[in-house]
Amino acid sequence: MMLVAINPSSETASAKSNTSYDSVLKTAKKHLGARYVWGATGPTHFDCSGFTKYVYKKSIKKTIPRTAQQQYNHTKKVSKSNIKKGDLVYFGGSKHSISHVGMYIGNGKMIDSQNRGVIVERVYSPWWHVVGFSRPANLTY
């Protein structure tokens, strides 16, 4: 009989660090207070989709499309009842006219870049009309 030693913890830890929600959230929070500038993709100024694109790329090396509409169109859709931390929340007139995106952080809140800069705010606010949700990556929690 041959015994093989396997060290699952090193493999798991490595996989976790590449796709962990903690990494995504840490990167997003690092930019709280950054100024909003239309068309900006960071690292000191952002528009909404520039912020989400930057956060995913810098934290877990995941490339997502540039605009909010493209991010919605090219990422896996999830229902409101299945939303998880790190998922993206889209706003606008309809699923075909998305004008804003934020990253869900739990408890009905998101981090987004808007006219007040990068902030934490409620997903369901009078000035936002939620039109959908997507999951750009499968994150570990």
112 has catalytic annotation: yes
Return d(Cα 91, Cα 95) in angstroms, integer: 8
Q: Which is catalytic among the residues 45, 47, 87, 112? A: 112
Alpha-carbon radius of gyration of the chain:
17
Taking a C-beta distance cutoff of 8 angstroms, is the pair 101, 68 a contact? yes
Q: Which is catalytic among the residues 45, 47, 48, 87? A: 48
48 has catalytic annotation: yes
Phi, psi of 135 (to 5 degrees): -120, 100
Return d(Cα 70, Cα 23) in angstroms, integer: 24
Q: Which is catalytic among the residues 31, 45, 47, 100? A: 100
47 has catalytic annotation: no
Return d(Cα 139, Cα 135) in angstroms, integer: 9
Q: Which amino acids are annotated catalytic? A: 48, 100, 112
